[in-house]
Chain A
Amino acid sequence: MTQTNAAEPIQKVSIVVSHGSLEGVYPGLIMANGARMEGIEASLFFTFFGLDAIIKKRMNNLKVATVGNPGMHMPTLLGALPGMSAFATGMMKKEIEKIDIPPIGEFITMIHDAGCEIFACRATVDMFHLKPEDFCEEVDGVISVGQFYEMAAGAQIIFT
């Protein structure tokens, strides 16, 4: 295989966050923040349970999934014990703080201040009967999939 020209640097990313667990939300936020740090244009689109990350009352209470999560290396029945998810969540939050990654609410503010636009998915907002006041102030709008694609023109789309 021959390569005729050097790879173009990435100019713009649109990151979709579709999961509402702590381990489902952080990767997308870290990638969005990392993009801005490199001077790459970035936007975040929250859909389905991912919306929990931008809902005021929920954003700072996201949990690690201890059931149905093979990455936990824990038997499903053990993961289902009361308090197990809270325990795993506490551990992860502690380790995350150690490497200087902020809690979700603070991270969303930081990413938005860094110039990343934040959008909520219209279909999910309708499905869960959410109101504008449910969202944190960083949310720039509730948009349809069509609008998302329009906005993402020229971007790499990353689905998490």
Chain B
Amino acid sequence: MGTMSIVAKPIELDADGHLANRNDWNEDLARDIAAQEGITELTPQHWAVINFMRKVFEKEGDAPSIRRLTKESGVDTKTLYQLFPKGPAKRAAKIAGLPKPKGCI
């Protein structure tokens, strides 16, 4: 069987470096973005956070606050900061293909 290389379609980003269109998102892309952010492996706990953020965004148009994230996703604050060491809200949103969260909390 022969092989074929497909030129990857360029993906548009917003001013913060997050995906401009969240429909471009898929799990492989999430892994790539995570790797760029220094997170080499996405564990089930990472996915719990990512999926929860996407679910809330889908319904409400903004990512959840850290407080809500920890109360409803089943991942506590300490773990959340271990999973996304350099700022959980922004990093998790970026990996989830969502814009930077607007909230302060």
From B1-9, B24-32, B39-47, B75-83, the one touching the partner chain is B75-83
What is the minimal beta-carbon distance from A137 to any residue of chain B, in angstroms?
Answer: 14
Contact among B88, B90, B103 with A100 in the assembled complex (CB-CB below 8 Å): B103
Q: With an 8 A cutoff between CB atoms, is A101 at the interface?
A: yes
- Residue of A whose beta carbon sits closest to that of B70: A110
What is the minimal beta-carbon distance from A96 to any residue of chain B, in angstroms?
Answer: 10
Q: With an 8 A cutoff between CB atoms, is A18 at the interface?
A: no
- CB contact under 8 A between A36 and B90, given known A99-B105, A101-B105, A113-B76: no
Contact A110 B66 (CB under 8 A): yes
Q: With an 8 A cutoff between CB atoms, is A86 at the interface?
A: no
Contact with B along A27-54 (1 / 0, CB 8 A): 0001001101111100000000000000
Chain B residues touching A, range? 10 to 19
A157: chain B residues within 8 A (beta carbon): none
B59: chain A residues within 8 A (beta carbon): none
Contact among B77, B90, B105 with A38 in the assembled complex (CB-CB below 8 Å): B90
A141: chain B residues within 8 A (beta carbon): none
Contact A114 B67 (CB under 8 A): no
Contact with B along A81-110 (1 / 0, CB 8 A): 000000000000000000111100000011
CA distance A30 to B105 in the complex (A): 7
- Residue of B whose beta carbon sits closest to that of A101: B105
Contact among A40, A101, A113 with B77 in the assembled complex (CB-CB below 8 Å): A113
What is the minimal beta-carbon distance from B18 to any residue of chain A, in angstroms?
Answer: 15
Q: With an 8 A cutoff between CB atoms, is B74 at the interface?
A: no
User: Other CB < 8 Å A-B pairs besides A39-B87, A110-B67, A113-B78, 8 of them?
Assistant: A30-B105, A34-B105, A37-B87, A99-B105, A113-B76, A114-B66, A114-B77, A114-B81
Residues on B lying within 8 angstroms of A by beta carbon are 65-68, 70, 76-78, 81, 85-91, 103-105
